Amino acid sequence: MTPSPGSAERPLRVAIVGSGPSGFYAAEALFKVAGLHAQVDMIDRLPTPFGLVRGGVAPDHQNIKSVVKVYQKLAENPGFRFHGNVRVGKDVQVAELDQCFDMIVWAIGCESDQKLGIPGEELEGVHSATSFVGWYNGHPDHRTHRFDLARATRAAVVGNGNVSMDVSRILLKSPDALASTDIADHALEQLRRSSVREVSLLGRRGPAQAAFSPKEIEEIAELPDVDVVVRADEAALDEYSAKWLEKQARSAQRNVKFLSEHAALGEGSKPRKLRARFCVAPVELLGREGRVVAVKVQHAVLVPDSTGTPRPQMLDRFEEIPADLVFRAIGYRGVPIPGLAHDERKGIVPNDAGRVLEKVGGAVRTGHYVVGWAKRGPSGLVGTNSPDSKATVEQMVADLQQGRGVLAPSATLGALLQQRGVDAVSWQDWTKLDAHEVATGSARGKVRDKQPDVEALMATVRTLRG
Ligand code: NAP
């Protein structure tokens, strides 16, 4: 009798595509299932692991980045293999993964960004927060992006989430305070030349609905050169928001308290300002000679929708907020993978509680599962992905126990990649590269040195292999 997938004789062969938090938490959940023997092959298009923790979490938030220690420990499991520098859809097709694995978990996050969809978005000086974040983090996709920081004195950041906090803080913080982090060298160099002294943070709703965490805005207020400036009329809550706030998490109440206290402080005397604006929705980006010069906003009042949630209702009142640089930080979107269904409206992989669908509203696709942002959309902190991935793994185990959801592999990924001459980065390769990045960084007084060019990274990997 052939042993069943998941037994000691025939471990369950699982591919996890993507090596960010949701991918690692899926591996952890699989390894923890009692009685299940799993072989996990984690695939990443980059030569380096850790997804958003490496390429998204801000360089001055090393405490958040330290979560990789947990992932490194997981990777020591004998059933774990890493294949970096392997792009699904190019080096290997989705249909070929079906021939190599029993189950496939998509942990591909949301790598693109939402557009504002207003006139002027194509002007020079208008950027996505995604590019800026990737750029300062040394993400290979964004290394060649140019931000004209030297000729800008005022920037505007659209959106009131934690990404807008990261972007605002990096723009306003002293570069000296970033020098010892793992910030990309090209970014530090440009930030040293930056003339940005003022950032307008544009929220389309009020202080009670701000999506940022209190400690993020508090961190900006603690910067030695920066005043957080809030207009008293915009800090004051409307009657719906005041009632609504009573039922919200403590973090929303802490934000409101912080913002109203700052409204009382006025302009302050520090040389750099974060102007937190509320109930202002961008309607147009204004330009001169092809460059952005201002954000035209429409003022709004908040009115409850059918669920009682305060939503902006536009007033016939407009304002032009000067800005030489504009960053949209209004959320992320998934990028479609050829051979895998994509929900264009939500920007995610269509799924039923983690089981991938053939198409939006379609049947479940055998053997395919999804975790993290690609499953639920771009929400939550790093740790949110742990229970989320565990929930998908529970569906996988339930399907396995019921004899469904398993593909019938007849090939192996390693052999396929070798046949094609794909130079995949193993976990051993990464361990060496990791030590190299830390050593070269340390020699220059930095946490680590990141090489943002894939070719150069691969050259280092090959040298380190000896
Ligand atoms: P987010 O938390 O969803 O915030 C998006 C913001 O954009 C909201 O304020 C939203 O306002 C606004 N927005 C959306 N469409 C808009 C439009 N057309 N015009 C104006 N404003 C618009 O998203 P995020 O900041 O990208 O963060 C993604 C996730 O990563 C979040 O869960 C975040 O907490 C997490 N993250 C955490 C950290 C950290 O812990 N340090 C750092 C970065 C990111 P409405 O509320 O009105 O829709």
What would the pLDDT profile of 50-93 be if each residue is shown by its tens digit? 999 999 999 999 999 999 999 999 999 999 999 999 999 999 99
Q: Does ligand 1 lie within 6 Å of residue 310's CB atom?
A: no
Q: Does ligand 1 lie within 6 Å of residue 160's CB atom?
A: yes
Q: Are residues 361 and 323 in the same domain?
A: no
What would the pLDDT profile of 267-306 be if each residue is shown by its tens digit? 999 999 999 999 999 999 999 999 999 999 999 999 999 9
pLDDT at res. 3: 83
- Atom 36 in ligand 1: which residue has the minimum CA distance? 162
Q: Does ligand 1 lie within 6 Å of residue 437's CB atom?
A: no
Ligand 1, pocket-test mutation among 162, 248, 295, 311, most atoms within 8 A of CB: 162
Sorted by sequence, the CB contacts under 8 Å of residue 356 that are 6+ apart come out as: 106, 340, 341, 349, 350, 364, 365, 368, 369, 370
pLDDT at res. 405: 81
Q: Does ligand 1 lie within 6 Å of residue 204's CB atom?
A: yes
Query: 244 C-alpha vs ligand 1 centroid, how far in Å?
Result: 19
What would the pLDDT profile of 195-242 be if each residue is shown by its tens digit? 999 999 999 999 999 999 999 999 999 999 999 999 999 999 999 999
pLDDT at res. 276: 98
Type and span of the H or E element at 319: strand 310-322
Structural domain that includes position 134: 115-330
Distance CA 282, CA 76 (A): 49
Q: Are residues 172 and 302 in the same domain?
A: yes
- Identify whether 61 is part of a domain: yes
Q: Are residues 205 and 277 in the same domain?
A: yes
Query: 217 C-alpha vs ligand 1 centroid, how far in Å?
Result: 13
Q: Are residues 105 and 184 in the same domain?
A: no
Going by DSSP bridges, is the β-strand pair 364-370/355-357 parallel, antiparallel, or unpaired?
Answer: antiparallel
In percent, the amount of the chain with pLDDT more than 70 equals 100
CATH number at residue 235: 3.50.50.60
Number of domains in the chain: 2
Distance CA 439, CA 437 (A): 6
Residue after which a domain boundary falls, among 330, 361, 376 = 330
- As given in the structure block, the two tokens for residue 252 are 């929303």
Q: Are residues 129 and 85 in the same domain?
A: no
Type and span of the H or E element at 437: helix 427-443
Query: Does position 347 have pLDDT exceeding 90, yes or no?
Result: yes
Distance, CA of 343 to chain centre: 18
Confidence of residue 43 (pLDDT cuts 50, 70, 90): very high
The atom number, within ligand 1, closest to the CA of 332 reads 26
Q: Are residues 290 and 420 in the same domain?
A: no
Q: Does ligand 1 lie within 6 Å of residue 381's CB atom?
A: yes
Query: Does position 1 have pLDDT exceeding 80, yes or no?
Result: no
Q: Are residues 46 and 78 in the same domain?
A: yes
CATH number at residue 421: 3.40.50.720
Whether the Cβ atoms of residue 293 and residue 323 lie closer than 8 Å to each other: yes
Model pTM?
0.97
Confidence of residue 98 (pLDDT cuts 50, 70, 90): very high
Query: 169 C-alpha vs ligand 1 centroid, how far in Å?
Result: 15
Give the mean pLDDT of the chain.
97
Confidence of residue 392 (pLDDT cuts 50, 70, 90): very high
DSSP code string of 39-92: EEEEE-SSSS--HHHHHTS-TT-HHHHTTHHHHHHHTTSTTEEEEBS--BTTTB
What would the pLDDT profile of 426-457 be if each residue is shown by its tens digit? 999 999 999 999 999 999 999 999 999 999 99
What would the pLDDT profile of 13-35 be if each residue is shown by its tens digit? 999 999 999 999 999 999 999 99
Q: Find, among 12, 26, 58, 299, the residue nearest to 170 by Cα.
A: 58
- Identify whether 439 is part of a domain: no
Q: Are residues 46 and 148 in the same domain?
A: no
Ligand 1, pocket-test mutation among 330, 376, 379, most atoms within 8 A of CB: 330
Q: Are residues 363 and 249 in the same domain?
A: no
Query: Does position 386 have pLDDT exceeding 80, yes or no?
Result: yes
Whether the Cβ atoms of residue 109 and residue 372 lie closer than 8 Å to each other: yes
Q: Are residues 43 and 169 in the same domain?
A: no
- As given in the structure block, the two tokens for residue 52 are 């958003």
Q: Does ligand 1 lie within 6 Å of residue 281's CB atom?
A: yes
Q: Are residues 29 and 124 in the same domain?
A: no
Q: Are residues 241 and 158 in the same domain?
A: yes
* Helix, strand, coil tally for the chain in percent (to 5): 35, 25, 40
- Identify whether 390 is part of a domain: yes
- Identify whether 79 is part of a domain: yes
